[in-house]
Amino acid sequence: MRNLYTIFGILMLLAFTSCNTVRVSSDYDRNADFSQYKTFAFHQKGLVDLKMNDLDKRRIVEAIGQTLSSKGMTAATAETNADLVINLSAKSKTRVNVDPYYDPWWGGPYWGASQRVHQYKEGSIILDFIDRRQNTLVWQGVGEGLNVSDIERKATKIPLAVEEILAKYPPKRK
C-alpha cells in the first residue's frame, strides 16, 4: 500500500510540473543572414510603453542580454549602432483551474467529493528582432504559459522562460 502512495505522489508531481512549462514558438525570415547580426539594442520606446512592472522588465532585459552575450553577440551603446533592435512585448490573462478530487476520509464511511478552484495570471513574452538597417522583422520568439501570480518564483521563472525562447535563436537552417 505504501508503494501505491509513493507512485501516486510521483505521478501527481509530474502532472503538476508538466502544467507549469512554458510553451515556446518562433518564426523567422528565411532570407535573412543571421550570421551578420553581431550587436543588439532594445527599442527604448517599446520598453517605456510596456505595461509591466520595472522589476520584471529588468529581469527580462538582463536575461536577454546574458543569453545573447553567451551566443557571441554584443550589446550596442544605442539603437542606432545596433544590427538588431529588440522590441519586447508582453501580455497576461487570468486563468481558472478547477480540480475535482475525492476525499476518502470525508463524510464518514463514504467518499466525499469536492473541487479546488485556483485562479492565476498566465503571461506571455514576445521578442521581436528587427533588422535596423532594413527596418524589417527577421525573428520572433514567443513564450506562453508563464505563471506570473507566483511572486516568489518569478525571479527564477522569467530568466528561464527567456532562455527557452532564445534557445531557438539563431534559427537552424534545414
Q: Which CATH architecture has domain 22-166?
A: 2-Layer Sandwich (3.30)
What predicted TM-score, i.e. pTM, was given to this entire model?
Answer: 0.75
Q: 43 versus 100: which is more confidently predicted?
A: 43
The three-state secondary structure class of 81 is helix
Helices (H), 20-166: 44-49, 54-70, 151-166
pLDDT in tens, 86-136: 999 988 777 777 777 655 555 555 555 667 777 777 889 999 999 999 999
pLDDT in tens, 46-94: 888 888 889 999 999 999 999 999 999 999 999 999 999 999 998 877 7
| CA dihedral sign, ordered 8, 11, 17, 18 | negative
Domain spans in the chain, listed from the N-terminal domain onward: 22-166
